[in-house]
Structure 1
Amino acid sequence: MKIVLVGVNGAIGQAVQRHLGERHTIIGASRTNAELKIEMTDSQSIRSAFESVGNFDALIVAAGAVAFNTFPAMTDDEWQLGLDSKLMGQVKLAQIALDYLNPHGSITLTSGVTSKESIAMGASSSMANSALESFVRAASTELPNNLRMNIVSPTVLEESVGQYGEYFLGFEPVSSTSVGYAYQRSVEGVENGRTYEVF
């Protein structure tokens, strides 16, 4: 398979590349330092990037930013970051990919444990992740060409504890191998509209 992996430089992206890279051609995409330059909040950037790739078999999105702040202190710009990047960035990637995916291809998005569990300063994260899971459940019923769409919802990775551990006190980190298996199941399996929880 030819797989476009958006967010290749992050901990999840690296886990996916290690897990699937031996069997498939991975085209890594990111805003910087990647084979494919892409700005996920910009539809024209997404379309131009996909045009340069041509048709492909799977899209994996392991990217999207949110702001961490208390609910009373959250600013308009901080709310908008999660809406523009984590939520609508992934929605735009999925929608535009429909024009480039081969029949029977797949889309895999990424939410997170905060769709189910609350953390301090995580209201924006919970909002975006819950919306993404609902989006996948609904949009997966309307895909053309026998395409499939699923979403992976991981907790904090072992490799990311140093960066995000303070937000996930008491949460048991998961291995990159466990996360990689969830993306493999979405890409190589047969299910549609599923949320694969890794926590």
Structure 2
Amino acid sequence: MNDFTGLRALVTGGASGIGLATAEMLAARGARVAVLDLAETGPFTYVRADVSVDAEVRAAVYAAVDVLGGLDVLVNNAGIGAQGTVEANTDDEWHRVLDVNVLGVVRVTRAALPSLRASEHAAIVNTCSIAATAGLPERAAYSASKGAVLALTRAMAADLVRDGIRVNAVNPGTADTPWVSRLLDRAADPAAERAALEARQPHGRLVSAEEVAAAIAYLASPLAGSTTGEALAVDGGMAGLRLRPRS
């Protein structure tokens, strides 16, 4: 496919996992791609920024736009995970998760909007999570942050639709990413923990980064020009299916 030919894209958190898979997919379909991350990787224009620091974000976004010659697609993928119940995490941990996962989206989008408004095919895709729509154990802070991203996506879509900017989200299930791998490595029984994560998704396995990237690419593509304010689940049916136990 070449639906991104001539378009310019910025992917935050593009050094690994879903972000890297997305950058690679957009590039393969014709886009010029820049990645914003704390770590440099891949054959893309790289701009370094901590999304919790507004000055770094503005400088990085402006630098990416300058190199790309404009901006058509923004993928807000940068984020951090967190474990714990509502009482287990300290105030500092809550502030950190919300600052990165929610305000990070705000900061990058705010810096990118002037360039996106100049595009004829402007699209923003936010990486949300199944945690925004399903209650998961020991994910209180993370779930709260992703619930905010889902609401923010719809509010942004309403604010920006008349500017010609579409805003959507993807809601991945548990994905086979480096962060999940590190989580499994810390478990008392990594194999059993992985089996449990796979079993809670109706299709019986973890979601791949490439599957999430494909959903992001669909929402970002000009071919989805009438889709805005939506959240596309990529979760093996976890959000909506209720299967009977195996006999």
Using the size of structure 2 for normalisation, the TM-score is: 0.74
Residue 96 of structure 1 deviates from its aligned partner by: 2.1
1:178 equivalenced with 2:211 (yes/no): yes
- Range with greater deviation from structure 2 (168-177 or 180-189): 168-177
After TM superposition, give the deviation of residue 73 of structure 1 in Å: 1.7
Is contact 1:86-1:128 (8 Å) kept? yes
Question: Following TM superposition, by how much is the alpha carbon of 1:47 offset from its aligned partner in structure 2, in angstroms?
Answer: 1.3
Q: CA deviation at 1:91?
A: 1.8
**Counterpart pick for 1:152 among 170, 173, 198:** 170
Structure 2 match to 1:75: 90
Equivalent position to 1:42, from 53, 74, 79: 53
1:32 maps to 2:39 = yes
Per the alignment, in what secondary structure is the counterpart of residue 134 of structure 2? Answer: coil
| 1:43-192 equivalences in 2 (<5 Å) | 43-54=54-65, 55-101=70-116, 102-103=118-119, 104-143=121-160, 145-160=163-178, 161-165=180-184, 166=193, 169=197, 170-172=199-201, 173-188=206-221, 189-190=224-225, 191-192=227-228
Evaluate the alpha carbon distance shift between residue 32 and residue 177 of structure 1 in structure 2; reply closer, same or farther with a 3 A threshold.
closer
Per-residue deviation, 1:126: 1.1
Which amino acid letter does the alignment assign opposite residue 15 of structure 2? N
How far the C-alpha of 1:51 sits from its partner, in A, is 1.7
Superposed CA deviations along residues 17-64 of structure 1, whole A, max 9, x for unmatched, are: 232221211111102325111221122211111221232111112111
- TM superposition score normalised by structure 1: 0.91
User: C-alpha distance in 1, partners of 2:87/2:159?
Assistant: 38
- The SS at the match of 1:156 is coil
Q: How many residues align?
A: 199
CA distance in 2, matches of 1:65, 1:26: 22
Distance in 2 between residues matched to 1:142 and 1:50, nearest whole Å: 21
Q: Which has the higher strand share?
A: 1
Q: Which moved more, 1:81-90 or 1:172-181?
A: 172-181
Secondary structure class of the residue paired with 2:72: strand
Instruction: After TM superposition, give the deviation of residue 95 of structure 1 in Å.
Output: 2.2
Deviations 1:104-128 (A, max 9, x none): 3111111111112222210111111
2:169/2:232 contact within 8 Å kept: yes
**Cα-to-partner distance string for 1:79-122 (whole Å, 9 max, x where unaligned):** 11111001111122122211122333111111111112222210
Aligned partners of 1:148 and 1:136: how far apart in 2?
10
For the pair shown, the structure with the greater C-alpha radius of gyration is 2
Contact 2:61–2:108 (Cα < 8 Å) also in 1: no
Q: What's the CA shift for 1:195? A: 0.6
1:15 aligned onto 2:21: yes
Number of the residue aligned with 1:198: 234
- Could you list the runs of 5+ residues in structure 2 that have no partner in the other structure? 1-6, 185-192, 236-247
Of the structure 1 ranges 78-87 and 48-57, higher mean CA displacement relative to structure 2 is found in 48-57
